[in-house]
């Protein structure tokens, strides 16, 4: 399998490696470009829990938009709990402030009995629109996100996938 690589000149080998490096770079830059466009640190997220059923199921892929500063009650937002890196997808049920005052939001999962006050960091009773919100949900694709859930629950899958991709691209001569 690697015999074809052994016969390559150094420049050609560099060109083959470049092909794979460009695949990774372009994927990453497309992601960053989407981030810049939506002004969101993570413009596409996967629903991890069932707290928003029946609207969103575990494994749904959500598309976010973060340029609307006047978030309304009833919008579904994604936020990070301060200090933790887990995105939570819940609906806004109360808002305070807005306009010239900083906007503060209270959220609750459709499928939860209580609002999110328990989930917020200690001493935090509301979300700050400008600080904590990753974006509002503007669209979704059902079920596709399950791949991401698999990848995070079985991290060796990530490595295996990457190695497979690398081999495919570097050994291909088109």
Partner 1 sequence: MADARISPHALPDLKSTTDDALANYLRSLHFRQHHAKLDVRLALGYLGVAIAAATFAADYRLGWDATKRWTAVAVCAYAVVNGGFSWWIWQVEGGCVFEGVRGGKKISIASKTNKHDPTYHLAVTDAAGATREVQAPFTAWFTADGFFVARPFQQWLARSVGAIGEADAKNAASDAGGSEGGEIAAESEGFATGSGEAGGVETKGKGGKRLKRKG
Residue ranges in contact with partner 1 by CB under 8 A: 3-4, 7-9, 11-12, 14-15, 18, 21-22, 24-26, 28-29, 32-33, 35-36, 39, 41, 173-174
Q: H-type helices in the chain, by residue range? A: 3-6, 10-38, 146-153, 155-171
* Calpha distance 32→169 (Å, rounded): 23
DSSP 172: -
CA 95 to chain centre: 25
| Tally of CA atoms within 13 A in the half-sphere of 48 that contains its CB | 14
Minimum CB separation from partner 1 for residue 35, in Å? 7
Residue 109 or residue 135: which is nearer to partner 1 going by CB?
135
> Is residue 35 annotated as a catalytic residue, yes or no?
no
Instruction: Write down the catalytic residue from 51, 60, 132, 136.
Output: 51
Residue 116 falls in the annotated catalytic set: yes
- Residues belonging to the chain: 174
Nearer to partner 1, 33 or 142 (CB): 33
Rounded Cα distance between 28 and 30, Å, is 5
Q: Residue 8 Cβ, how far from partner 1 at the closest point, in Å?
A: 8
Q: Which is nearer to partner 1, 35 or 148 (CB)?
A: 35
Q: Compute the least distance from the CB of residue 4 to partner 1, in Å.
A: 6
The least CB distance from residue 49 to partner 1, in Å, is: 23
For residue 117, the 8-state DSSP code is G
Q: Which residues does the annotation mark as catalytic?
A: 51, 90, 116
């Amino acid at each position: 399998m690697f015999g074809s690589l052994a016969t390559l000149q150094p420049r050609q080998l560099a060109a083959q490696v470049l092909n794979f490096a460009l695949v990774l770079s372009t994927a990453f830059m497309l992601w960053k470009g989407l981030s810049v466009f939506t002004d969101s640190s993570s413009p596409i997220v996967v629903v991890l829990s069932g707290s928003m059923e029946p609207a969103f199921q575990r494994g749904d892929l959500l598309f976010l938009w973060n340029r609307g500063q006047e978030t309304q009650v009833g919008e579904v937002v994604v936020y990070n709990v301060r200090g933790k890196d887990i995105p939570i997808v819940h609906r806004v049920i109360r808002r305070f402030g807005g306009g010239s005052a900083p906007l503060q939001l209270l959220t609750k999962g459709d499928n939860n009995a209580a609002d999110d006050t328990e989930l917020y960091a200690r001493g935090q009773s509301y979300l700050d629109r400008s600080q904590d919100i990753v974006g509002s949900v503007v669209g979704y694709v059902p079920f596709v996100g399950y791949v991401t859930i698999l990848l995070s629950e079985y991290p060796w899958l990530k490595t295996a996938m990457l190695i497979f991709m690398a081999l495919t691209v570097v050994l291909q001569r088109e």
